[in-house]
Amino acid sequence: MTHQPEARMTNPAYVLTDAGPAIQNLLKATRQGGVDESILELVHLRASQINGCGFCVDYGVKSARKNGVDDEKLFMVAAWRETPYFSDEERAALALAESATRLADVSDAVPDEVWDAAADHFDEKQLAAIVLMVGLTNLFNRLNVAVRQPAGAGW
């Protein structure tokens, strides 16, 4: 028998009614940077894995599939460095996502090496979209983890 946990409360983005639309507008803005949707999905998924957000990992996998990310990549995104499945562009975006998510792990959270590799593949507008996606994903993760939003639950 499977136990479906319950959230502690309604997601704060819905309790504070102005927050939800504002967050959705920011999310739409990430799509205006010219970054391939599948890369944004991988960035979202990797940051959510790092933060242990079951809801966002579940949602991220489903959304990534809808946007053309194949199962090979979905199964291996947590170990992307050790697999041949990711392009150099995807690797640069994933490295940036990891660094920008793990801010407290090292003193130079986003080292020049990581930033420069991303800048070799993405222009400023694209970098803005990736960084905004990482920031929003971390916001989503923190909201959902704090309220224990169960994976598979709808908002």
pLDDT of 99 above 60: yes
- The model's confidence at residue 131, banded by pLDDT at 50, 70 and 90, is very high
- Residue among 134, 133, 97, 101 nearest 117 (CA): 97
Confidence (pLDDT) at 101:
97
Q: Per-residue pLDDT averaged across 117-143, rounded?
A: 98
Confidence (pLDDT) at 2:
65
Residue 150 structure tokens? 């169960």
SS3 assignment, position 67: coil
Q: How far apart are CA 5 and CA 135, in angstroms?
A: 27
Asked if residue 83 lies in contact with residue 76, where contact means CB atoms within 8 angstroms, the answer is yes
Confidence (pLDDT) at 26:
96
pLDDT, mean over the chain: 94
Confidence (pLDDT) at 154:
60
**Strands (E) located in the chain:** none
Q: Per-residue pLDDT averaged across 102-130, rounded?
A: 96
Q: Which residues contact 75 (CB under 8 A, 6 or more apart)?
A: none
Query: CATH for 36-147?
Result: 1.20.1290.10
Q: How far apart are CA 118 and CA 135, in angstroms?
A: 16
Q: Report domain extents, the chain.
A: 36-147
**Strands (E) located in 61-127:** none
pLDDT of 155 above 60: no
